[in-house]
Chain A
Amino acid sequence: MSEAIIKIQNMNKWFGDFQVLKDINLEVEKNKKIVVCGPSGSGKSTLIRCINRLEEHQKGSIVVDGTELSENTKNIEQIRAEVGMVFQQFNLFPHLSILDNCTLAPIWVRKMPKKQAQELAMQELEKVQISDQAQKFPGQLSGGQQQRCAIARALCMEPKIMLFDEPTSALDPEMIKEVLDAMVNLAKGGMTMIVVTHEMGFAKEVADEVIFMDEGMIVEKAETKEFFANPKSDRTKLFLSQIL
């Protein structure tokens, strides 16, 4: 059994008086693919945003790649460099070309020479099949292309973990497939992934484990086959019956 790369213990988070996450315990091993699902407002997005500290947790501990998340900003920047993230709204930088979007962080955070960063970016863009769009600006691309570019941008940092925050929720149905294909390829390459999504087909295809969350708690955590074949809690059953 390999070492856990993410270790979350008794993590609690409040937004003001409202408790969003309650006693989260989660361990993710290297190269595993975890899918997080659940109704909206259940804290899925907040959970993965806590992992690279886009949100602060108030209680408990989160250890990513051997470093505990704390007030120390240097630590956080290091962890963020190792943890790639893809957002629902793509969040590409609209003032930079696709290529510059991908090379910005490698050059200024990783201190990579510009030439090398560009080669790397072109490789990653090739993998998600938009290398021919490299000189365009994000505003000129379709939603699916933008999201694939966002995946490439995160991969250019050569992260150890990839977080996906509902990557296909803002896309047209015919564009969802192209993004999911890129994610499946990435999963086959052995990346550690945590994916918040409603795409159960994707979960069945690549996930090692599925987590079901409701009201800020992890209700059920099981191997993928087990999860879909015989869910234990009633809440999970209800949820699955509604979306499958």
Chain B
Amino acid sequence: MNKFTFLRSDRSNIQLVLITGTFLITISILDVFLNSFFRLNLISFLPSKVSFLTPFIIGMIGLNLIRIEYSGNKFLDILNKNINTSNFNAALTLLIIFLIFKAIPPSLSWMILDANISGDTKEACTGTGACWTYIKVWFRRFMYGMYPNEQHWRINTAFLLVIGMGTFGLFATEKMKKFLALYYVVIYPIIAFLIIYYLISGGYFGLEWIETGAWGGLSLTFIVSFFCLIFCFPLGMILALGRRSNLPAVRYVSIGYIEFWRGVPLITVLFMSSVMFPMFLPEDFFMDKLVRVIIAITLFEGAYCAEVIRGGLQSLPRGQYDAAKSLGMGYWKMHIFVILPQALKLVIPGICNTFLALVKDTPLIFVVGLAELAGMLALAKTNPKWLGFAMEGYIFAAIIFWIICYAMSKYSYNLEEKYKTDR
């Protein structure tokens, strides 16, 4: 038959094939590993182009050899089923492993091994790696913006209070559960606003007044995101219901609103809010820039929320409306107890998407002179004493944004699981 039968792997020559295959794969991966971590080239005797391709070819042969169906070896079966189903998948597997090995040493050495964190001037950074000293020195600025150092406890206390109030729902007794929605939609935002206004802004109770222009850094990211999130959700809900209303006036106003705000870029909305909007206000009427920005983002994101929620409403079968109506429920009872709970459950992934986008849109408020985390970075990197550390700053910001966003999406998965009632 075929003279290459010794290359054909099946259960008869499994021992031999398995040993050879594993050996080849080990060689191939080991070569790349040594090459990338220790700069050793085992096959340097070959021409450079060949030596570049050799580990890949050896690995492919190895993976090809161990591809045996129903080998009876549990580990081997799992391997074959998941990463070694065909030559194409084997190639992808190898390339990914190589890529990881190639990428780890440089990033590791830049971020940790060759990096500096000691000292507090630019001169402390002598290594070829990252200069985390820069982040350390500027850390308070990145967190609190231009807010005076000795007053930072006010921001911390305010945040702790607001978070504490947010966990109230966990301790609510059966009797209070009824009012929980009311609490979170109306009372909580108002109290949170008052706490942040009086404690962080100050001017009362002997607290020094600190204008919002000085707020900044991560705390400002949190403040803007927090208020926009809790306000834009109810707004979106009302708009979504409005767009499906039977009353023409309500419906057309909702459609007009949604289409208008979805049609303009956020950056122009922010410009308008801070530059144009005050011109239309009476002379003696003053509204803080931060408040204007929060309102602008809320109105903007509310339109997106509305469309996401409308998608959920749309997907409910008509039978649910019929059933609720046939039990004598009116419009509001029907929506509050039957329609919205189901629709909102369906749109948790979509809402999470919108909220993540919102959090990542907050750096745009830089254009009106408010410097949240990314804004502070932009300021810090142009500081003459600290030129040339943009990379460190952006990686730091990326990590922080990633943590925030990952936490949010994790939370949304939890919510999905929690409210899963079908099957």
Contacts and interface: CB of A to CB of B under 8 A. Distances in A.
A153 B322 CA distance: 14
A244 B328 CA distance: 37
A70 interface: no
A139 interface: yes
Interface in B301-348: 317, 319-320, 322-330, 333, 337-338, 341-342, 345
Nearest to A93: B338
Secondary structure at the B interface, as helix, strand, loop or mixed, is: helix
A91 to B, nearest CB: 4
A169 to B, nearest CB: 14
A116 B172 CA distance: 23
B391 to A, nearest CB: 49
Contacts of B423: 139-140
B333 A108 contact: yes
A52 B323 CA distance: 11
Nearest to A104: B337
B2 interface: no
B326 A95 contact: no
B323 A87 contact: yes
Contact of A80 (B317, B320, B326, B419): B326
Contacts of A50: none
Contacts of A99: none
A203 interface: no
B245 to A, nearest CB: 14
Contacts of A73: 330
Given A92-B323, A140-B423, A109 B341 contact: no
B330 A54 contact: no
B320 A77 contact: no
Given A87-B322, A104-B337, 19 more contacts: A52-B325, A77-B328, A78-B328, A80-B326, A80-B327, A81-B328, A82-B328, A83-B326, A91-B322, A93-B320, A93-B323, A93-B342, A105-B327, A108-B333, A108-B337, A109-B333, A137-B422, A153-B327, A154-B326
Interface of B: 317, 319-320, 322-330, 333, 337-338, 341-342, 345, 419, 421-423
Interface of A: 49, 52, 54, 73, 77-78, 80-85, 87, 89, 91-95, 104-105, 108-109, 137, 139-140, 150, 153-154, 157
